[in-house]
């Protein structure tokens, strides 16, 4: 009898309470259940899962909910890219708008051999910490400190420190934006993936003040602004700027820059080539060429003067017969 009182009855009582609470929780879960849009789960399943926040929402779950609610575009995930956008668009039953792929770039070429130092910094190897000491060791207060704050926040191993400044591998970069937020000098910006010309300078100073601190800084001469055939170069806050929507990567600005502040691989500049068997001599290319590099008579095959050609690609774009290729 003692065994019954001490073991059996308590076990029955606890079992009964367990069943009662279980039934209660089951009823409550049905009655107070929050309905989840199946599209949210479907979208979440095709996202890369980086949870980087580059889309502007708190992680992939937040982005998936926003897309399903019509508050975010299908192509809003920079990490997933075009393939991810197509999958999300398919789930939502919309067309995925093709966007320009962006990547991060350090707009500074103040390497150890190009830029001067004010003092030798021996503190914590962190750009934010170093910038609190007289703005950092670099003579140019706008340049990359090269201590790796951006490296530490990059989840994709896309950033390395080379010769005293950060370098970003555009093939690994997902444009998540974490490095932009981590940089205390605001020397990192997003640029189009296919862009080939950059002003690698962030200085807001002018002329002599720049030259005494960095050999390759923009001195504000505006030669590039005057030389650009497409009005893609502007001058703002004592610094040359490229309008990437207008830029054709012709590299004329880099060719003319007296300090080398504008980056371009001139040895890889493409030249226009005309396929004579396709050319009908319409003269459109000759009329559109900004430097007069194309010659030819009406209804006869045209030719390109390679010495004049700047590789802008305008002729290729305008040719109605696809007779021009950039090589």
Given a cut of 70, whether residue 2 has pLDDT beyond it is no
Nearest by Cα to 206 from 222, 223, 225, 220 = 220
Domain 38-92 shares a fold with domain 272-326: no
* Domain residue ranges of the chain, discontinuous segments joined by +: 38-92, 100-194, 195-269, 272-326
- pLDDT band for position 98 (50/70/90)? low
How many CB atoms are located within 10 Å of the residue 250 CB?
A: 26
Give the architecture-level CATH label for domain 272-326: 2-Layer Sandwich (3.30)
Nearest one of 208, 249, 243 to 225, comparing CA atoms:
243
- Per-residue pLDDT at 206: 86
Q: Would the pLDDT of 319 be above 80?
A: yes
Least confident of 55-59, 135-139, 291-295, 320-324: 55-59
Q: How many CB atoms lie within 10 A of CB 50?
A: 18
Strands 233-236 and 239-242: antiparallel
Phi and psi dihedrals of 59, rounded to 5? 80, 180
pLDDT score of 120 more than 60: yes
**CATH number assigned to the domain covering 38-92:** 1.10.15.40
Which CATH number, 3.90.1150.10, 3.40.50.670, 3.30.70.20, 3.40.50.2300, labels domain 195-269? 3.30.70.20
67, 76 Cβ separation under 8 angstroms? yes
pLDDT band at 17 (very low <50, low <70, confident <90, very high): confident
Q: At which residue do the structure tokens 């390395």 appear?
A: 160
Compute the distance between CA of residue 224 and CA of residue 242 in angstroms, rounded to an integer.
10
The string of pLDDT tens digits covering residues 194-244 is 999 999 999 999 889 999 999 999 999 999 999 999 999 999 999 999 999
How far, in Å, CA of 314 to CA of 233, rounded? 17
Q: What is the distance between the alpha carbons of residues 71 and 317, in angstroms, rounded to a whole number?
A: 36
The long-range contacts involving 94-99, CB below 8 angstroms and separated by at least 24 positions, are: 97/73, 99/75
pTM: 0.78
DSSP letters for 155-170: TTS-EEEETTEEEE-T
Q: Give, rounded to a whole angstrom, the gap between the first and last alpha carbons of the chain.
A: 99
Q: Choose among 253, 263, 266, 255: nearest CA to 216.
A: 263
Pair 248, 314: CB distance under 8 Å: yes
pLDDT at 25 over 80: no
Rounded alpha-carbon distances, angstroms, from residue 174 to 95, 153, 157: 22, 13, 11
Provide the pLDDT for residue 159: 98
Would the pLDDT of 129 be above 70? yes
Answer CATH for 100-194 from 3.30.470.10, 2.60.320.10, 2.60.40.420, 3.30.70.20: 3.30.70.20
Tell me the pLDDT band of 135, cut-offs 50, 70 and 90. Answer: very high
Classify 267 in phi/psi space as left (phi over 0), alpha (psi -120 to 50) or beta: alpha
- Average pLDDT along the chain: 91
């Amino acid at each position: 009898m003692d065994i019954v009182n001490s073991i059996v009855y308590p076990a029955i009582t606890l079992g009964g309470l367990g069943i009662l609470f279980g039934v209660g929780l089951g009823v409550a879960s049905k009655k107070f259940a929050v309905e989840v849009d199946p599209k949210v789960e479907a979208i979440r399943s095709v996202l890369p899962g980086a949870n980087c926040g580059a889309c502007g929402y708190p992680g992939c779950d937040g982005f998936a909910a926003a897309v399903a609610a019509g508050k975010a575009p299908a192509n809003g995930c920079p990490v997933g890219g075009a393939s991810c956008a197509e999958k999300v668009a398919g789930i939502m039953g919309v067309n995925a708008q093709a966007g320009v792929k962006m990547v991060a770039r350090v707009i500074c070429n103040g390497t150890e051999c190009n830029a001067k130092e004010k003092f030798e910094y021996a503190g914590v190897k962190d750009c934010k910490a170093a910038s609190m000491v007289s703005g950092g060791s670099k003579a140019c207060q706008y340049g990359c400190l090269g201590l790796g704050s951006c490296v530490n926040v990059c989840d994709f191993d896309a950033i390395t420190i080379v010769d005293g400044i950060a370098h970003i591998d555009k093939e690994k970069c997902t444009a998540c934006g974490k490095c932009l937020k981590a940089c205390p000098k605001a020397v990192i910006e997003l640029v189009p993936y296919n862009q080939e010309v950059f002003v690698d300078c962030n200085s807001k100073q002018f002329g002599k003040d720049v030259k005494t601190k960095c050999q390759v800084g923009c001195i504000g001469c505006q030669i590039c602004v005057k030389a650009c055939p497409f009005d893609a170069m502007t001058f703002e806050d004592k610094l040359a700027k490229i309008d990437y929507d207008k830029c054709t990567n012709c590299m004329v600005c880099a060719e003319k820059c007296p300090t080398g502040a504008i980056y371009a691989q001139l040895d890889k500049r493409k030249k226009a080539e005309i396929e004579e068997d396709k050319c009908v001599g319409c003269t459109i290319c000759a009329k559109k060429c900004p430097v007069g590099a194309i010659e030819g008579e009406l209804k006869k095959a045209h030719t390109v003067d390679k010495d004049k050609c700047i590789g802008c690609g305008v002729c290729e774009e305008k040719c109605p017969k696809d007779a021009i290729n950039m090589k």
